């Protein structure tokens, strides 16, 4: 299983970016796919998660209402649309996945417990600055 995150960059406060996570080696239908981020000196935190089977989505409190996660199972790709970006959104963003059929795996849990994610991609840097 491999994941490749892309789409990061430099954006001004209030701007938007769309991240992509291409997933190889699995069928999204059987997995949950999460977005996490890590700022310098901080713990990695859950940003969003989507069920590959139902499309149900979950968000961390700091991004709810500004970020939207979606998926295209035919392309094996998950997206994170980030609007109204703030300087505190600056971080390296990672995507990760885990089999939804494994006991204890759920998107709701993934937001607060990254340890349940089995496979991780390399991150993409997002910098929000004027």
User: pLDDT tens for residues 104-127?
Assistant: 899 999 999 999 999 999 999 999
Angstrom distance (rounded) from CA 107 to CA 100: 9
pLDDT of residue 68: 98
Q: What is the pLDDT of residues 46-80, one digit of tens each?
A: 999 999 999 999 999 999 999 999 999 999 999 99
| Residue 41 to residue 46: CA distance in whole angstroms | 16
């Amino acid at each position: 299983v491999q994941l490749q995150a892309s789409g990061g960059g430099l954006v001004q406060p209030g701007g938007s970016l769309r991240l992509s996570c291409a997933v190889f080696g699995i069928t999204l239908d059987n997995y949950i796919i999460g977005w996490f981020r890590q700022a310098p000196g901080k713990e990695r935190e859950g940003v969003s998660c989507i069920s590959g089977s139902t499309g149900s989505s979950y968000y961390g409190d700091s991004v709810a209402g500004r970020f939207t996660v979606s998926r295209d199972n035919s392309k094996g790709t998950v997206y994170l649309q980030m609007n109204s970006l703030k300087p505190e959104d600056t971080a390296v963003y990672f995507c990760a996945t885990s089999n939804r059929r494994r006991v204890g795996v759920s998107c709701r849990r993934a937001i607060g417990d990254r340890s349940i994610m089995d496979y991780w991609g390399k991150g993409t840097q997002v910098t929000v600055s004027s």
